[in-house]
Structure 1
Amino acid sequence: MAQPVKKIRYALVGTGNRGTTMWGRDLLAGWGDVVELVGICDLNPMRAERARTMMGSNAPLYVDLDLLLAETRPALVIVCTRDSNHDEIIVKAMEAGADVISEKPMTTTAEKIARIRDAEKRTGRRLDVSFNYRYSPTAARIKELLLAGEIGDVTSVDFHWYLDNQHGADYFRRWHAFTENSGSLYVHKATHHFDLINWYLDSDPEEVKAFGDLVHYGRNGPFRGERCKTCPHQAECPYYLDLAADPFLDALYEEPSRLDGYVRDACVFREEIDIPDTMVASFRYQNGVKVSYSLNTYMPIEGHHIAFNGHKGRIELRQYEKQPWTTPPADEIVLMKSFPNTVERIWVPHEPGGHYGGDNRMRDMIFRPGANDRLRQRAGSRAGAMSVLCGLAALESARSGGAVRITPLPELI
């Protein structure tokens, strides 16, 4: 008779959207046979209580992380808080004997990277960073083509990411709009993108030259208010967000905001916003590959374009996520060979779940015993650190006007 699977006892820290859904409700629904939620921690007890109800859990609630760790003694802690305090929670969890999953980015400064890496070495605990884009079926297929040498050695990469007027604007409504909290979108959002490139190329970047400006949101707005709910410009503002029309966001943020003052519909035109909304960067990698990257946050489309140029050909993808026409049910990878001049169109169907199946594949990799990580998709602290270092260097370059060398990781530990 097969022995029952011993469930992983985990605690969730941070009950915003991602914590409540990806690592709460959805994890319990799809992986409840291998995980058990033993504690929920958030500084806002009303938000935590509402999130717990949405998850269908009866796990105890905490506002004190130390107390949670002492009373529940979880084997795993999942961190879904504001980026700037990830390091504090990760280190405490490891010192209490728990492994950790951190939402991206792993952290926001080089000093915090060093602190996390040191704790990992001292305690022997493991950190996973939730780079779910690595797990999408299309990303996996591209990785396979690169490993197979279909276009020979890669010489350069063109990589351009588009956030639409809903998704992109959301970063400027929330705490992400301030470098102090998020490290800017060069860190918070682009950490996904830089990690993908690092993973695809299996190399580290060594230098970056970047430009970035706030040209659309913030002080550039024609008018502004404190928040959408009380704004006198609701009728004329294309970025007006009616929280009451979204029962999930309204329940999680509106009434709980009375406890901590954090509103989910802050004005995207606040003058104090200090992160760029239009970003470009050029990277040189240790293996000689050159990468051209851009991120725009106010487009009529959502998705990305990536192309790998090699001695023997080119691999190209335009992934559609949202646009004013029907999203294709599959992604088309175009494999172009130079000698002879041929083209192959490879269609990769979308899978259920977030990120076209990437979220589910990642949770399977982490939680299902015996998962085969043949493409090395599972990302640890080194991958988390390198993607953050890319973003920090790009932000420094954009602000200073000069090229910035990316500090080799061993010098930080």
Structure 2
Amino acid sequence: MEQTRDKVIISLKDVDKSFEDERVVKRLSLEVEEGEFLTMLGPSGCGKTTTLRMIAGFEYPTSGQIFLEGVDVESRKPNERDVNTVFQNYALFPHMNVFDNIAFGLVEKKVKKDEIRRRVEEMIKLVRLDGLEKRMPSQMSGGQKQRVAIARALVNRPRVLLLDEPLGALDLKLRKQMQVELKHLQRQLGITFIYVTHDQEEALTMSDRIAVMNQGNLEQVGTPEEVYNHPETKFVADFIGESNIIEGYIEEMDEDAIWVTMESGKARIGETGYRLEEMVYLCVRPENLKLATEPVEGFRFRGQVREHIFVGSINKTLVELPNGQMLKAETPAEDELIPVGTVVNVYWNPGKVVVMRTTEEQIYNVIEQSVEIEGMTNDQIF
């Protein structure tokens, strides 16, 4: 069932976490809305699992506060917080069958037997384990074990379900199947899910919003469309999907556009709000990078086709710039390919580029090299 998400259920305010001298989470502030599927995404060691463990109560913040429905939970033990956690290794009891594994939490809470049976049977049906009630964990596949672990967590009716890379041990095909099932289950129940993964495609597939973390910092929070199409930092642009990231320098500007000079050429970008001589990054996704044998208005940017790679429904084309940087372009597999070795004009739809500010001081002599390249023939450049 769908819910209107207008209530904050989890709130982290300036949360820091250090282990001895290592600071693994840095002043993290984040709000999670009721009924939301929020994914914490980032590379290994970025602090996402530590953050999840602090929400669960298995770790405590060095400083900062964590609120569950407006109540500071610092003094509450894990079993006193209305959250449940699903781990990657399932953590099932090997001596208990499916029914007893799912029922374990309710038995511990001394729920009446009739109520236990009703709720467990409801969960078994929900996660599609009908007929497997008496099966032992050793007799089950990885996907079935994961369903048992999820059912065991959900049978307690938590306000929030925390999932720490729960699909990491599954093969690719089963992993993709479980992604769809988990999202469907979350929507059906309306429970808040906070999901941890390092898999970008998994995050894009399942999430209402994604919180991207890097070295203990929260880089960006947004919908899958926002973090993919409008990354706010170079790390987000580079980490989520494939990106062509090119350093540039704002040399000219007018009322509705800027000219960005790069080591290997120039491009006119339909952006405003920048200043002359400002250093920027241009981010262009491979599917938005275009190649032409004829000049393109607004672009003075050339490269040489080096390789074509067939990947099912698309071809990936590698283009080398004069400075040695490789760019990737994607085209449908049925499109005619430009021969390897051809010098091409590189361009993109002005609305399909993301311009990001950078604090890096090194300019890489982009103006000088670009001026040199403009006056040279293709043979001289390549």
TM-score, structure 1 as length reference: 0.25
Which has the higher relative contact order, 1 or 2, with Cα contacts under 8 A spaced 6 or more apart?
1
TM-score, structure 2 as length reference: 0.26
Q: Name the structure with the higher strand share.
A: 2
